[in-house]
Structure 1
Amino acid sequence: MEYDELPYGEAKARAVKVLEDGYGDAVVLKDDHGYWVLYYFYGFQGPPPTAKPHWMEGPLPEEGQVRPPYAMRRFLEDQGDFTYLNDVD
């Protein structure tokens, strides 16, 4: 499965957990390899159903290793990536 291209609406329908905060949504999926997290950085606005993830992490062996959207965004910025925030308005 190519999770990095999974639209938000489909990912959320398959999710075992969704973390939402003011920075985005982290959609947690599980398969035989472990947990995968798809990050959609749209701030307080929900991502459009067709939105592709901005970042993907996994497989992780435990669900407790999943970072919330704010923590992942900070990690990416600390690594030198640009600020992720899409405005759907």
Structure 2
Amino acid sequence: MDYSEMPYQEARKQAVKVLEDGYGDAVVLKDDHGYWVLYYLYGFQVPPPEAPPHWMEGPFPGEEGIRSPYEMQKFLEEQGDFTYLNDVD
């Protein structure tokens, strides 16, 4: 399955875990291949239900190595990507 375009609302329904912090939501999914993490970087705001993820990682064999939204945003900035933080309002 291609999770890279999965809307936030659908991902939340299928999540085995959600990591939330002031930078966004990391929605953790699990399938036969392992753990996948979809990052929705909207800060303290709830992402729009139809929003696709800003970034995706996986599969991981276990939950170790899964980054928080803060860690992912810092990683992306270190890679030269612009700030992904979206403003819903």
Settle same-fold status: TM greater than 0.5: yes
The runs of 5 or more residues in structure 2 that have no matched partner are none
- Secondary structure in 2 aligned to 1:56? strand
Partner of 1:60: 60
Flag the structure with higher helix content. Answer: 1
Measured after TM superposition, the shift of residue 75 of structure 1 is 0.5
The runs of 5 or more residues in structure 1 that have no matched partner are none
- Secondary structure in 2 aligned to 1:63? coil
1:25 and 2:21 matched: no
Partner of 1:45: 45
RMSD (Å) for aligned C-alpha atoms: 0.5
TM-score calculated relative to the size of structure 2:
0.98
Identity, in percent, stands at 76
Measured after TM superposition, the shift of residue 64 of structure 1 is 1.9
Moved over 6 A (4+): none
TM-score calculated relative to the size of structure 1:
0.98
Partner of 1:35: 35
